Structure 1
Amino acid sequence: MFLKTHKTAGSTILNLLHRYGDRNRLNFALPFRHQFKYPNLFHSRSVKGFIASTRQQYDILCHHMRFHLPEVQKVMPSDSFYFTIIRDPAKMAESAFSYYRFVSSAFKRARQFKAFVSNPSRYYHQRARSNQFARNLLSFDLGYNPDAPFTEALAKAQVREVEKTFNLVLLTENFDESMILLKEELCWELDDVVTFKLNMRGASVPLEQRDVDQLRAWNALDWYLYSHFNRTFWEKVESFGKVKMDNEVRKLRERRQQLSELCLERLVPVGAEDIKEELLKPYQAGQEKILGWAVRKNLPPYVRTDCVKMVTPELQYMELLDARQFPVRHKMRQP
């Protein structure tokens, strides 16, 4: 069970889960559309094909949701492995503003990121449309109240709940080390966790230290959560072995480079206009330019199939999985 948080490289992790489940013919808990009725709390009835009375269970649950453990437990086996990924809330806020600036009421009111950072409470109103993107987004995705007044007791209680529920909490800033820890926990092979970055922006705004401090204060619940799991992450690395981790990360990066040279037309991501295959075009959010990858044409068919899957965006891959699991419905939709 992967809780895909927003603006944390979750789309990249989703791709490796899609590929692993697809390759091993595993059963995904899929939403009716693109997410599980987010921003509402997750409910088992939002899983396509789920019938409570039959208690059928799934192998992988990984698409966007607002986490709600009791309902997740109705869908997933009791011995499921739970993991998620988090990011420094200052960097996360800059990314969220860029991506959701025409969606969140607070961001639309501020218009400019610097204006929002200088006085977020001026633009932010509780319960306004899509304002979960503007404050304590990690806490919101985990199912908590992002507007709860910060106290250390509350923050500690939330951390304890996350620790109790999730077997592993990964860090966006240390993505490669995160992939090695995930591989170790799941007893996977190196190629299972080799990825190319997906859903990337063309550019980001550099943050001054003052901006970082203000954003961490504004997102105090998230900053406490991140600080705690940053510490425990490096404790896990220490337990794994620093020299061993360095060697594993080196192998991961070498393998990624090999696959890049094998699969990709260019070794850098490109704009959607430079990707000719519709299957591989990334979704464009408003005016933000989202980059993707073009796959080389002159590859053996079986090699190209694997390469294409490595760069297939989440929405298109979800459609492919949906067609596999619900073939009759997809056949009926065809003219």
Structure 2
Amino acid sequence: MLMKADIRSNTVSYSHSQTESSIKFISVFLQRLCFHLLQFIIAAGPSKHLCANRYISGSNSISRSVCPAVRKLVMAPKKFFLALIAVSTVSLLLHHGGHLNLTLETFWMGCPPSTIFSNQNSNRPSVKHTSVAFLKTHKTASSTVQNILFRFAERNNLTVALPITTCEHQFCYPRPFSIHFVHPHTSPPDILTSHLRFSRTELKRLMPNNTIYITILREPGAMFESLFSYYNQYCLSFKRVPNGSLEMFLAEPWKYYRPEEKDSMYARNTLTFDLGGDKDRRFSEAAKYAKRFAAEMENVFSLVMIAEYFDESLVLLRRLLSWDLEDVFYVSLNMRTPDSKSSLSSENTAKIRDWNIIDSELYDHFNASLWRQLKALGLACIDREVQLLRQARERLVRSCFGGNLPQLRSAEQITNKDLRPWQPSAKVAIVGYDLPNNLTTKGHMPPRDECLKMIMPEVQYTKLLLRAQSLRYRKRFSPRGSQLTTRPVGPVRVHKDPISPSLIPKTLETLARSTKGVLPPV
């Protein structure tokens, strides 16, 4: 189990050392170039004897083509020495940049400092933020974000708040969150990321005062289609529709929907319900209520991610928390097979948005908010960092799967039971991944355990964390009382190179120009 902050991907470390070697090579090359240029100008002598010099002697044709250019250069000493100074400066920066506390992110990314969300003046915060509460919403790629947070907590020896066993892997959802739903072996927590219905009062009782709150939303049309498919056998509002037809439900939703039923939150304004709001506000009041509710959420959440722009959202998340690039590597989890998905017409999308009017208003509000933050940072900067994230993530993922991209498999095809995703019903197939049996961890390969955790489904990972944290709890429990010893978790220091230089593409031309993110399938 990865439990220390300084345990980083061997892939990143290996590539980092390669890039440092490349930088040193370029630096030495530029220094030698400066030396030979100085030798040349000294040896050239007066311009009238220039072409007789041994540096440019040779055939008449070469002399005729080279001499005018060389003579022009020597006769413009100011330009020559300016060029010499420029080359020398670049060489010194490359050679001594590390001693000046400069990073490649500062030069190559061309981005504002990562303190964009704070009033700090330093170019890079010195401490990673480790108190995070993530409101895990339904069918929004939130399982992928949860996995990122789970792995970060393990690497940095943090405590993750987990549900009591009677609540299974959720905090007794759909009941409003209570501090009593938290397993005593996982408190006081640093990270909270399992499903719950938001209660600001109860979370403030549980989490540290400096906790950063984040969540994620998804376009209501695609989200509702996913909800209808995923919970078709659990939500009675969906189950009573003939032939499980989404079109029939949208034609007459009030014919099937019962707001008082247990699982009705999946059938209308699910995002609003997860956030603690009123999903059944009267239609005439819905628009005003949505605006007021969005303003309330603005005061709670420092970042609201958008699933359709997942990687762009991760860029903002990384900067908000002062995390390293490798802290937000991921593999998309909890995905359906293509035949479980239905394409939506524009007419049905409009019907879904009307039926989920509060969710639609919330999504539009926070989608606009996300893009204001992205534009404030600079779209060119965001595009470069997104491409850097995707390239680095692909390298790590390939190294975990024997040099290939992972292949989605059905639960029956996955040999490791710890990697088999939960199946909601026989009508919906959730796919996952399986690690190659011959995977080794030699050389620059990441540890097998790290690869395993990156593709582990929520249910199994939650159980694994609870076992580990319960063991830690018992070791620290005082025999003479019920008080825990203080958790010895200090600040997590940021590495000198927040974005590993080895993962930077060789040329900027290789970067994609589109800023649209890739939605992890759900």
Q: What is the TM-score when the length of structure 2 is the normalising length?
A: 0.61
Question: What is the Cα deviation at residue 213 of structure 1?
Answer: 0.3
Q: Which runs of 5+ in 2 are unaligned?
A: 1-132, 475-522
**Mapped pair 1:316 → 2:460:** yes
For 1:256 and 1:284, the matched residues in 2 are separated by 27
CA RMSD in angstroms comes to 1.8
**What residue in structure 1 maps to residue 394 of structure 2?**
257
Deviations, residues 1-50 of structure 1 (Å, cap 9, x unaligned): 00000000010001000000011110111101211110000000000107
Q: How does 1:131-170 map to 2 (within 5 A)?
A: 131-150=264-283, 151=285, 152-170=287-305
Question: What is the Cα deviation at residue 328 of structure 1?
Answer: 8.2
Question: What is the Cα deviation at residue 264 of structure 1?
Answer: 2.4
Q: How does 1:49-128 map to 2 (within 5 A)?
A: 49=184, 57-110=188-241, 111-128=244-261
Give yes or no for contact 1:107–1:123 (8 Å, CA) kept in 2: yes
Q: Which has the larger radius of gyration?
A: 2
Aligned residue identity for 2:369: T
**Mapped pair 1:18 → 2:150:** yes
Question: Secondary structure, in 3 states, of the residue corresponding to 2:255?
Answer: helix
Deviations, residues 66-121 of structure 1 (Å, cap 9, x unaligned): 00000011100111000000011111110001100001111001121121122211
**Mapped pair 1:271 → 2:410:** yes
Change (3 A) 1:166 1:328: closer
Give yes or no for contact 1:44–1:50 (8 Å, CA) kept in 2: no
**What residue in structure 2 maps to residue 333 of structure 1?**
none
Aligned residue identity for 2:411: A
Give yes or no for contact 1:269–1:292 (8 Å, CA) kept in 2: yes
**Mapped pair 1:34 → 2:175:** no
Give yes or no for contact 2:304–2:366 (8 Å, CA) kept in 1: yes
Question: What is the Cα deviation at residue 129 of structure 1?
Answer: 2.9
Give yes or no for contact 1:264–1:293 (8 Å, CA) kept in 2: no
**Mapped pair 1:226 → 2:363:** yes
Deviations, residues 149-181 of structure 1 (Å, cap 9, x unaligned): 142321111001100000000001111111111
For 1:115 and 1:17, the matched residues in 2 are separated by 39
**Mapped pair 1:201 → 2:336:** yes
Give yes or no for contact 2:213–2:300 (8 Å, CA) kept in 1: yes
Judge which range, 72-81 or 147-156, deviates more: 147-156
Aligned pairs, how many? 327
For 2:254 and 2:396, the matched residues in 1 are separated by 46
Question: What is the Cα deviation at residue 325 of structure 1?
Answer: 1.1
Aligned residue identity for 1:257: E
**What residue in structure 1 maps to residue 421 of structure 2?**
282
Aligned residue identity for 2:248: A
**What residue in structure 2 maps to residue 299 of structure 1?**
440
Question: Secondary structure, in 3 states, of the residue corresponding to 2:386?
Answer: helix
For 1:255 and 1:296, the matched residues in 2 are separated by 21
Deviations, residues 189-222 of structure 1 (Å, cap 9, x unaligned): 1111111000000021111000000000000000
Q: Identity of counterpart residues, as a percentage?
A: 39
Question: What is the Cα deviation at residue 268 of structure 1?
Answer: 3.0
For 2:182 and 2:145, the matched residues in 1 are separated by 20
For 1:133 and 1:175, the matched residues in 2 are separated by 23
Give yes or no for contact 2:185–2:469 (8 Å, CA) kept in 1: no
